[in-house]
Copies of this chain bind each other. A is one copy, B any other.
Amino acid sequence: MSEKIEVLLFGLGAIGSFYAFILHSCPRVRLTVVARSNYSAVKENGILLKSANHGEHRFHPDRVIHSLSELTSSPSPPFDYVVCTNKAIDVDDVARSLAPAITAEKTTIVIIQNGVGNEEPFRRLYPGNEIVSCVTWVGAHQPTPGTTTHTTSEATQIGLYQPINPAQAESALSTLITILRAPANPHPTPLTPLSPAALQLTRWEKLMWNCAWNTLTTLTAQDCQAWLQSSEDALPLTRRLMREVVAVAHASGVELPETLIDAQIAKMQGLGPVRTSMQTDREMGRRMEVEVIIGVAVKGARRVGVEVPVLETVYALIRAVDSLVGKL
Q: Is residue A268 within 8 Å, beta carbon to beta carbon, of the partner chain?
A: no
Q: Is residue A233 within 8 Å, beta carbon to beta carbon, of the partner chain?
A: yes
Beta-carbon contact of B316 and A234 below 8 Å: yes
Beta-carbon contact of A317 and B221 below 8 Å: no
Which residues of A in the span 199-247 have a Cβ within 8 Å of any Cβ on B? Answer: 216, 219-222, 226-227, 230-231, 233-234, 236-237, 240
Q: Is residue A312 within 8 Å, beta carbon to beta carbon, of the partner chain?
A: yes
Contacting residues, chain B, for A231 (C-beta < 8 A): 316, 319-320, 323
Q: Is residue A314 within 8 Å, beta carbon to beta carbon, of the partner chain?
A: yes
Q: Report Cα–Cα, A222/B328, bound state, in Å.
A: 11
Beta-carbon contact of A315 and B233 below 8 Å: yes
Q: Is residue A321 within 8 Å, beta carbon to beta carbon, of the partner chain?
A: yes
Q: Report Cα–Cα, A316/B219, bound state, in Å.
A: 11
Contacting residues, chain B, for A316 (C-beta < 8 A): 230-231, 233-234, 236-237
Closest to A312 in B: B237
Q: Report Cα–Cα, A68/B155, bound state, in Å.
A: 61
Q: Is residue A265 within 8 Å, beta carbon to beta carbon, of the partner chain?
A: no
Which residues of A in the span 53-78 have a Cβ within 8 Å of any Cβ on B? Answer: none
Closest to A231 in B: B319
Q: Report Cα–Cα, A236/B312, bound state, in Å.
A: 10
Q: From B219, B227, B233, B320, give the contact of A222 (CB < 8 A).
A: B320
Beta-carbon contact of B309 and A313 below 8 Å: yes
| Closest Cβ–Cβ distance, residue A315 to chain B (whole Å) | 6
Q: Report Cα–Cα, A86/B203, bound state, in Å.
A: 50
| Closest Cβ–Cβ distance, residue A317 to chain B (whole Å) | 5
| Closest Cβ–Cβ distance, residue A79 to chain B (whole Å) | 37
Contacting residues, chain B, for A219 (C-beta < 8 A): 219, 317, 321
A-B contact pairs, 12 of them (CB 8 A): A219-B321, A220-B317, A226-B323, A226-B324, A230-B320, A233-B316, A233-B319, A234-B316, A234-B320, A237-B313, A240-B309, A310-B312
Residues of A at the B interface (CB closer than 8 Å) are: 216, 219-222, 226-227, 230-231, 233-234, 236-237, 240, 309-310, 312-317, 319-321, 323-324
A-B contacts besides A220-B321, A231-B316, A313-B313, 9 pairs, CB < 8 Å: A219-B321, A220-B320, A221-B321, A222-B320, A222-B324, A230-B319, A231-B323, A237-B313, A240-B309
Q: Which 8 A-B pairs have the closest CB atoms?
A: A309-B309, A230-B320, A220-B320, A233-B316, A231-B319, A237-B316, A313-B313, A230-B323
